[in-house]
Amino acid sequence: MRKNEIVKILVPAGALGIPYDRVALDAGLLEKPDLIAIDGGSTDSGPFYLGTGTSKYSRSATKTDWAELMDARAKANVPLLIGSAGTCGADTAVDWMLDLTLEIARERGEHLKIATLKSGQDQDTILRALERGAITPLEHAPTVTAETIRETTNIVALAGVEQIQAALNTGADVIIAGRTTDTALIAALPIARGCHKGAAWHGAKIAECGALATTNPNSGVVLMHFDDQGFVITPMADDAKATPYTVSAHMLYENANPYILYEPGGYLDVEAAQYRSIDDKSVRVEGSIWHDTTPYQVKLEAARCAGFQTVSLVMVRDQHYCRHIDAWVDALKKSFAQKALKNGISDVSLELRIIGQNATLGALEQRRHDAVEFGVMAIFTSHDQSRSQEAAKLLNPDLLHLPLTPHEPMPTFAFPFSPPEMNKGALYEFCLNHVMAVDDPMDGFTLEITES
Amino acid sequence: MVLGQEVKKIRSKNAGPFWLTIDIFCFDDKNFQDIQTRLDTDTVARLFQTDLSQISRFDIASLQVIKFSLPRPHIQGTAEDSDMHGASFAVLLEELDLGP
């Protein structure tokens, strides 16, 4: 370990695609960072993106933001690193990001060395690992069988600092990593250069959402300083400050446990960490502890296709029906069950959600009130899109006209669209919350170099 | 008064696809100590229709925060889930009446 090594990392935003302060980015470049690092994704937008291996952000918006960071990289003449590329970090999302990078480099007339680190896992490898007991469930993990694995459309392992360090060691100008832990892409370089491990991981957790740990979350840009005892966070926007409160409170964010963070190869404990202001906008943190664990484990994420959905929407404004909305929705369910039986549709499930009553919280909703109107959202789920659509068409006349009692005049409710049903496509589900033991951290990861 | 009017802020958020975490930010030490004694974990378990053993509670005096983590009511993005980011669940605590 080289003593007194200082590593500075510029983090432009919590994720590529989230707005940040351009002036603050320029201020950050003047601080001569060793690396520009940004997160490209998360599971937070849901399983669709991993299921399909695609990005949630538009290609054009991603290109605009990425071109600005490539420009910043050229000015600073340091590597630019993105982790969890294309929201989900699947191999197809890494290829998408590489394609964008090559296009921008061409337009800028830049010759770049680009490293891609792929995290995609093939089903056979995971099935063998499952058989030999190398895959362990985390708390509240779904049950996993060989069949679950075979149903997946994408499985990724989350890279830690070891795999990111391998990518940094290629000397690439731009590094596009597939799924990584949010923290590993910031912790990798300081750990490689002998900075304090606990500080590297803790600082990385604090910086992974950009300026969220400061008084101006929307400004995005933070400069992280790492050394052999601690880290310092400094937001780069003029009006942003880091305080011991904003920094320590960030450990609460999206963390089930505010003191412990599990990462590939070990865990971070911040319970003894000390936070102090060192000037009017920077906070220094010391005392976080990293614990190595064996065997070396990587976390797995996977999504499988759980069916296809069609959604119909009808608006109920008639006050008589609003007052009896539960009874009306029950009548819809009964009518659907009868029609499904009569027409041989046994392979479609129907869920009716009453918008304006409890469509957000479901059975947990505590409040009831009279409403001016209700929306009724009918969600049909089946193994086949044509079947869910067929079922939606079957219910269509009832959604429009079903009376509460046979003797009242036929009502007509409000369809906002023609047709009122929309094919939503595939329904994906996350199906792994597990860790896998590997002999070598690079097992299952693929590092490649492309020259632009 | 309901809890949301007695504290600075309540937020809920996914902690990964399988967990939900709720942070109650109090105004100061006094407010924190008051809420800490009046809000029991049983009540939270009842609100979320889950077992007490499923809920982790952290009383963080240095931040004046009470934090609860529990398995999501439905796994994120499944057919049964109705809030992808889990932010609406905070309302259940905001609207909770703790009595006088």
Contact B71/A253, CB-based, under 8 Å? Answer: no
- With contacts defined as CB-CB under 8 Å, which chain A residues touch B28? none
Q: Looking at the domain assignment, is residue A16 inside a domain?
A: yes
Contact B92/A361, CB-based, under 8 Å? Answer: yes
User: What is the nearest CA distance from A33 to chain B, expressed in angstroms?
Assistant: 31
Q: What's the number of CA atoms in the CB half-sphere (13 Å) around residue A37? A: 32
With CA atoms as reference, report the closest residue to A202 among A265, A271, A282, A138. A271
Chain B residues in contact with chain A using a Cβ-Cβ cutoff of 8 Å: 13-19, 21, 23, 25, 47-49, 56, 58, 60, 62-63, 65, 67, 69, 71, 73, 75-80, 82-85, 88-89, 91-92, 95
Contact B82/A360, CB-based, under 8 Å? Answer: yes
Contact A256/B91, CB-based, under 8 Å? Answer: no
Contacts of B27 (CB under 8 A, 6+ apart): B7, B8, B64
pLDDT tens digit string along A118-148? 999 999 999 999 999 999 999 889 999 999 9
* Residue at which a domain ends, from A273, A293, A313: A293
CA-to-CA distance for A19 and B62, rounded, in angstroms?
Answer: 31
Please name the member of B18, B69, B73 whose beta carbon is closest to the beta carbon of A141: B18
Q: Which domain holds residue A422?
A: 305-430
Contact B78, A393 (CB under 8 A): no
The CATH number for A382's domain is 3.30.70
Q: How many residues does chain A have?
A: 452
What does the DSSP assignment read for B23-78? Answer: EEE-SSHHHHHHHHHH--HHHHHHHTT--GGG-EEEEETTTTEEEEEEE-SS-TTS
Please name the member of B69, B78, B88 whose beta carbon is closest to the beta carbon of A429: B78
Q: Looking at the domain assignment, is residue A144 inside a domain?
A: no
Same domain, A81 and A210: yes
- Using DSSP's 3-state secondary structure scheme, residue A165 falls into helix
Can you give the pLDDT at residue A4?
A: 67
Contact A197, A231 (CB under 8 A): no
Can you give the pLDDT at residue A3?
A: 57
With CA atoms as reference, report the closest residue to A214 among A233, A198, A229. A233
Burial of residue A56 (number of CB atoms within 10 Å: 0-12, 13-18, 19+):
middle
Q: Are strands A80-87 and A174-177 parallel, antiparallel or unpaired?
A: parallel
Same domain, A392 and A354: yes
Can you give the pLDDT at residue A140?
A: 87
Q: Looking at the domain assignment, is residue A2 inside a domain?
A: no
What does pTM read for this prediction? 0.95
Distance of CA B95 to the CA centre of its chain: 11
CA-to-CA distance for A58 and A420, rounded, in angstroms?
Answer: 27
Same domain, A193 and A162: yes
Reported as a pLDDT band with limits 50, 70 and 90, residue A2 is low
pLDDT tens digit string along A189-226? 999 999 999 999 999 999 999 999 999 999 999 999 99
Q: What average pLDDT is seen over chain A?
A: 96
Same domain, A311 and A342: yes
Contact B47/A363, CB-based, under 8 Å? Answer: no
Same domain, A407 and A322: yes
* Residue at which a domain ends, from A293, A327, A351: A293
Residue of chain B nearest A46, judged by CA positions: B77
User: What is the nearest CA distance from B9 to chain A, expressed in angstroms?
Assistant: 13
Whether chain B has a CB inside 8 Å of the CB on A217: the answer is no
Same domain, A316 and A272: no
Same domain, A315 and A283: no
Can you give the pLDDT at residue A1?
A: 46
Same domain, A82 and A109: yes
Average pLDDT (A292-303) is 97
pLDDT tens digit string along A405-438? 989 999 999 999 999 999 999 999 999 999 999 9
- With contacts defined as CB-CB under 8 Å, which chain A residues touch B87? none
Taking each helix axis from N to C terminus, what angle separates A59-76 and A91-108, rounded to the nearest 10 degrees? Answer: 60
Please name the member of B56, B78, B92 whose beta carbon is closest to the beta carbon of A256: B56
Average pLDDT (A224-248) is 97
The angle subtended at Cα A315 by Cα A312 and Cα A319, nearest 5°, is 145
Please name the member of A257, A361, A379 whose beta carbon is closest to the beta carbon of B69: A257
E strand intervals along A88-141:
113-118, 135-137
Same domain, A93 and A173: yes
Residue A389 has pLDDT above 50, yes or no: yes
Reported as a pLDDT band with limits 50, 70 and 90, residue B100 is confident
The label of the residue with tokens 């000390």 reads A274
Name the A residues in 371-390 with CB < 8 Å from any B CB. Answer: 379, 381
Same domain, A71 and A220: yes
Q: Per DSSP, what are the bridge partners of residue B9?
A: B25
- With contacts defined as CB-CB under 8 Å, which chain B residues touch A353? 82
Q: Looking at the domain assignment, is residue A451 inside a domain?
A: no
Mutation for A interface: B10, B20, B21, most A CBs within 10 A: B21
Same domain, A222 and A335: no
- With contacts defined as CB-CB under 8 Å, which chain A residues touch B89? 361, 364
- With contacts defined as CB-CB under 8 Å, which chain B residues touch A254? 13-16, 21
Contact B79/A309, CB-based, under 8 Å? Answer: yes
Mutation for B interface: A182, A252, A309, A310, most B CBs within 10 A: A252
Contact B85/A44, CB-based, under 8 Å? Answer: yes
pLDDT tens digit string along A311-330? 999 999 999 999 999 999 99
Q: Looking at the domain assignment, is residue A199 inside a domain?
A: yes
Number of domains in chain A: 2
How many CB atoms are closer than 10 A to CB A313? 18
Q: Looking at the domain assignment, is residue A339 inside a domain?
A: yes
Please name the member of A248, A258, A364 whose beta carbon is closest to the beta carbon of B49: A364
Same domain, A286 and A361: no
